[in-house]
Chain A
């Protein structure tokens, strides 16, 4: 059993009680809610005549269903309008802070909370969304929960949960030029598999992780769940503190020093014990692209789609399904695969640094003929910053559509969807069957820089051919 890791320290600190059944009652320091997984939870509170226990510990925004073209109200889609309306009403009734469209702080919940300084080291953070693991980039213990657990957090600020085991993922050396956090995390998931993380929290560490910016670290932790780990985290360091300094909700003045001192004490101790350690060499990672229907089915840009014989027997069934669904053959190159749609955005890669790197690739280029390309900033703040830097103009000039913030085609709950069996080059996190809104739509996951490169050529391309030659 793990000992003295950051996970152990934060878990123990938040433990309220041993429940009679044997699980732990854990206090949730920050609860984030959005329109999709909260209405039934508020409904359940009403049915049980319960109140929100600590309304100031829950923060809301709207992201999944918002249209990214025309955001004027009422929304064209009645169901979407009903959902935002229900969230507005619930937040007013229960006195919960809500960052609505136009507030300047609306956006994808996992982009917004770090921007506001709500996300802090040492906190437990829960949200009815599996990508809550994103917040672990700050050294918080953050995980997705279902709607019944959202109800429990609203009612008691706690949940019943079994402690997770801890696996350290040690990333030696550094990523090469043109290789990004997205490539690294896709590589990790490929190496360990999509179920290895079940029952674990992942601690990402090593020189390659320390070298990443905070936004890149969020990309890594964000996709822990795609490796099966409900929670992923990185020990906080000076980069963490300098990112957080002077954010709206960060500790101020004399509290800042106190906070930093406490945050430093949370780091996994030198002699801590992990349940498992996995090591990899980050310098060997290539621009990585998925070819299948799970985020683990990926290859380097210059590799061929593996044949069944090259695949672990436990993963052969899903590989067979993937060949059929994707229409790809074993032995085929992923490079030069024609694409139809390019999507830059999502809680994985919709932050300002993602837009900067994509814009850099796109500058002085044009989107290929017949490609639909669009960029959806992760939040209103990201959009504002991008406009101040003129990034929107670079995207538009290249032939991208510039949209309003939201989750958009990552999961296609709004009108941004693939059509038929279109192939998308997507900076999002899931390539599941039907994920991007068409039951036969096909998703190739890659870094935003790689999406930008693909948009120029109209096919899967190596971004290294476009940068710093």
Chain B
């Protein structure tokens, strides 16, 4: 945590790193970052509190505390990861701990879009493949090289065909995941839309 956090920027097509496995279905965003840490006006200090309750319960045996998982950056999860609250604090905390990409069986909708919006690509794999990777990680480390363009992840003797939504993939390859400027390019169309909506006309006397 001594290195200053630098958020991802621009286009990216490749990333690589050590994997960390977190076993469990329906892991909600309250578990990823408990609500008491939402009392902040920036995201800067969230990294150290990721999974705070779970980590305290496991007294040092949580994957995010294990020495062998230090400097990991690719998180391997099971199904419906990130369900519940829309708090972007959850992926922000993961990112500030060091996570750069997530591979899982499935993701909750809002969590998924939050990850994309801050530059964490999320990939899916079938249940069995995830289990296999997690079993492997129980025994030894795994370094993956992810090629976003071809949607593959390669390790020493392993090649995984990752699934990623076509729109998400394009967003990362083009750098468009950082959406604001792209949205603002259509300023005229936005104005037209505003003038076009029936309720804008009959609601003109709000407060």
Contact (Cβ within 8 A) B41 A86: yes
Q: Is A5 an interface residue (CB 8 A)?
A: no
Q: Is B106 an interface residue (CB 8 A)?
A: yes
Contact (Cβ within 8 A) A50 B180: yes
Contact (Cβ within 8 A) A21 B56: no
Among B54, B170, B180, B205, contact of A20 (Cβ-Cβ < 8 Å): B170
What is the bound-complex CA distance between A40 and B184, given in angstroms? 19
What is the bound-complex CA distance between A7 and B28, given in angstroms? 27
- Chain B contact-residue range equals 35 or more
With a CB–CB cut-off of 8 A, which chain A residues contact B80?
194-195, 198, 228
Among A14, A43, A161, A321, contact of B42 (Cβ-Cβ < 8 Å): A43
Q: Taking A20-B174, A39-B42, A54-B194 as contacts, is the C-beta distance between A146 and B106 under 8 angstroms?
A: no
Among A21, A39, A318, contact of B176 (Cβ-Cβ < 8 Å): A21
Contact (Cβ within 8 A) A160 B199: no
Select from chain A the residue with minimum beta-carbon distance to B127: A314
Distance of B46 from chain A, by nearest CB (Å): 11
Most buried by A among B85, B107, B118: B85
What is the bound-complex CA distance between A65 and B166, given in angstroms? 39
Contact (Cβ within 8 A) A413 B79: no
With a CB–CB cut-off of 8 A, which chain A residues contact B91?
146
Distance of A46 from chain B, by nearest CB (Å): 12
With a CB–CB cut-off of 8 A, which chain A residues contact B179?
148, 152, 159-160
Q: Is A268 an interface residue (CB 8 A)?
A: no
Q: Is A307 an interface residue (CB 8 A)?
A: no
Q: Is A439 an interface residue (CB 8 A)?
A: yes
Contact (Cβ within 8 A) B117 A146: yes
Contact (Cβ within 8 A) A439 B53: yes
Contact (Cβ within 8 A) B205 A252: yes
Contact (Cβ within 8 A) B206 A160: no
What is the bound-complex CA distance between A230 and B108, given in angstroms? 9
With a CB–CB cut-off of 8 A, which chain A residues contact B146?
none
What is the bound-complex CA distance between A321 and B198, given in angstroms? 50
What is the bound-complex CA distance between A43 and B30, given in angstroms? 24
With a CB–CB cut-off of 8 A, which chain A residues contact B183?
25, 152, 155-156, 158-160
Distance of A94 from chain B, by nearest CB (Å): 15
Q: Taking A65-B39, A83-B41, A146-B86 as contacts, is the C-beta distance between A430 and B202 under 8 angstroms?
A: no
Contact (Cβ within 8 A) B39 A80: yes
With a CB–CB cut-off of 8 A, which chain A residues contact B118?
148
Stretch at the interface among B14-22, B66-74, B149-157, B185-193: B185-193
With a CB–CB cut-off of 8 A, which chain A residues contact B53?
433-434, 439
Contact (Cβ within 8 A) A251 B202: yes
What is the bound-complex CA distance between A462 and B87, given in angstroms? 35
Select from chain A the residue with minimum beta-carbon distance to B54: A433
Q: Is B40 an interface residue (CB 8 A)?
A: yes
Q: Which residues of A contact B (CB under 8 A)?
A: 13-14, 16-17, 19-23, 25, 27, 29, 36-37, 39-40, 43, 48, 50, 53-54, 56, 64-65, 77, 79-80, 82-83, 86, 97, 118, 120, 122-123, 128-130, 132, 143-149, 151-152, 155-162, 194-195, 198-199, 225-226, 228, 230, 248-249, 251-252, 255, 258-259, 262, 294, 314-315, 317-318, 321, 411-413, 430, 432-435, 437, 439-440
Nearest first, the 8 A-B pairs at minimum CB distance are: A146-B88, A146-B114, A148-B117, A255-B202, A144-B86, A439-B53, A22-B167, A39-B41
Cross-chain pairs A/B with CB under 8 angstroms, 7 sampled: A27-B193, A36-B87, A122-B198, A156-B184, A158-B190, A160-B179, A433-B53
